[in-house]
Structure formats: structure tokens, C-alpha cells
Structure 1
Amino acid sequence: MKRRERTRQLIELGGLIAKAELIVLTDGDRAVIFGLLIEAASTLRSERREQALTLWRRRGKRAFEEAVRE
């Protein structure tokens, strides 16, 4: 069952990358997308963690709400 849950999680996370248009905006360049994620992880390890989480959470919630309206 854990394998199925992990697979579902990976599919959902891939969907978020697509929904954020990162595939289109980077021409599917996996190195760029990975670099973006590494940069985000670095921010989450820094003193700016809470500020970044607050900002990103607000943006994410807003984007989800807009997607539901469309």
C-alpha cells in the first residue's frame, strides 16, 4: 500500500509542476526545474523560511481558488 501512496504523491506533485506551467516556461528542461526546486529548498533552510512559506502558501491558495473558478 505504501508504494501506491508514494506513486500517487509523485503523480500529484508532477501535476503541480505542470499546473504552475514550469514545463512550458522551461521548455521541459529538467535541469532548470530541478534547479528551481533546489533554490526553493535552500530558501526553506534559510532565515527566510517562514516568510517564504507564508508568501508561497498565499500564492498557492490563490492559484487553486482561481483554478476552481475557471
Structure 2
Amino acid sequence: MSAHKQEQEQGQKKQQQQQQQEKEKQQQQEKAKQQQQQQQQEKEKQQQQQQQQHQQEQEEQQQQEPQIF
């Protein structure tokens, strides 16, 4: 095999590896994004639950207070 052909093949392999790495990077970024979104949703859920609890507490307090007309 001529040296020239070897160089070409090595060049192609390099390109393929780089493309592979790029793909993997993108996939990792996608995963990270999805995880962040999930965490965000979890946070929002928790906040909503806290708000609901807070409302219930307020309602209970209102019921406990004697109403004066």
C-alpha cells in the first residue's frame, strides 16, 4: 500500500471519530437538557404542593376564627 493511500484512510478514520465524538457530545447535551427539565418539573410540582398545603392551612385558620358579623 502506498503511503499516500494510508494517509487518506487515516484521515477518513479521523473524521469518522470526530463525527462520532460530536454525536456523543450532542446526545450527552440532550440528556442533560432532559434531566434539567425533569428537575424543573419536579420543583414546580413541589411548589404547587406547598401552595396547596398553605391554602389548606389558611382555610383551617379561617374556620377556627369565630366569625363576627
The TM-score, its normalising length taken from structure 2, stands at 0.33
Specify which structure has the bigger relative contact order, considering alpha-carbon pairs within 8 angstroms and separated by 6 or more residues: 1
Larger Rg: 2
Q: Which has the higher helix share?
A: 2
